[in-house]
Amino acid sequence: MKRRSIIPLTLLTLSLLSTPMLSAQEGGKVSSEAGLQPRTAALQQGMADGAVHQLIALPYATNALEPVISERTVKLHHGKHLAGYVSKLNQLLVENKIMERDLVKLVKFASGSVFDNAGQLLNHNLYFTQFKPANMKQIEEPKGALAEAIKRSFGSFEKFRERFEKAGTSIFGSGWLWLAANEHGSLYIDKEPNGGNPVTIGLIPILGIDVWEHAYYLDYENRRAEHLKQIWHIIDWEVVSRRYEERASFFSK
């Protein structure tokens, strides 16, 4: 599949397609004595209230994913790396006077640092909410419509896992491995560099695996393939199946 067929647009275009963006001129009117212009002040008041992007809570204990992912990795990954993306994105939105807050729209239309941090925030929010406490006795399988779509697209769940793991192992450097769907329900394995997300090519993210080293290096060192082989023991297929079934509303949420 052709990747990056939708080129991220500039921040100027983003402002035209979504909510209004404050102009540089308006920002330049700020008086050091009289305070901020009303619209700028409102934007910054939002930041002061912490009403922009927040660090999501984990839907399980920090040690619940062991032995697949250690508590140390979860705490660092969620509490430091993800928290850092939240903080940086909020800072960038203010610095660039971007009024748009919707993460999917930011990832689709922004570029540069805003794209990078919005992408990482969207990616990690999907990542951390698709797991459940480890079941080391067996690898659970999806049911219903997603199970049928996997069989249709890949032949069987086992063949899908094999192709998915192989794709993840082949990503050069930092990136993300995705199972993505189009609106008609066809499934794709999408390899994205850095903070990429399938929304940039018009697909809906269903299952996302972080292959940045911070996601696994403490537990597996350089053995990414081993990490990917173990990841199936923590996938919450109910969450992933819901994403698949509700894909039609993804871009309108």
Residues that bind Fe ion (CB under 5 A): 210, 212, 215
Between 116 and 210, CB nearer to Fe ion: 210
Minimum distance of Fe ion from residue 123's CB (angstroms): 7
At residue 84's C-alpha, the angle toward residues 228 and 123, to 5°, is: 40
Minimum distance of Fe ion from residue 76's CB (angstroms): 10
The residue of the chain with the least Cβ separation from Fe ion equals 210
Helices (H), the chain: 11-17, 24-28, 38-48, 71-76, 83-95, 103-109, 112-128, 144-154, 157-170, 217-220, 224-230, 237-245
Between 147 and 171, CB nearer to Fe ion: 171
Between 190 and 210, CB nearer to Fe ion: 210
Minimum distance of Fe ion from residue 69's CB (angstroms): 11
Count of CB atoms within 10 A of residue 10's CB?
Answer: 13
Sheet holding 187-193, edge to edge: 187-193, 175-181, 204-210
What's the distance, Cα to Cα, between the start and end of the chain in Å?
Answer: 26
Cα–Cα distance for residue pair 164/78, rounded to 1 Å? 24
Minimum distance of Fe ion from residue 211's CB (angstroms): 9
Assess whether the previous peptide bond of 67 is cis (omega < 30° from 0).
yes
Between 81 and 242, CB nearer to Fe ion: 81
Residue with tokens 């610095």: 95
Whole-angstrom CA distances from 237 to 20, 50, 69, 129, 130 are 39, 32, 18, 11, 8
Between 215 and 240, CB nearer to Fe ion: 215
Minimum distance of Fe ion from residue 19's CB (angstroms): 28
Between 98 and 234, CB nearer to Fe ion: 234
Minimum distance of Fe ion from residue 120's CB (angstroms): 7
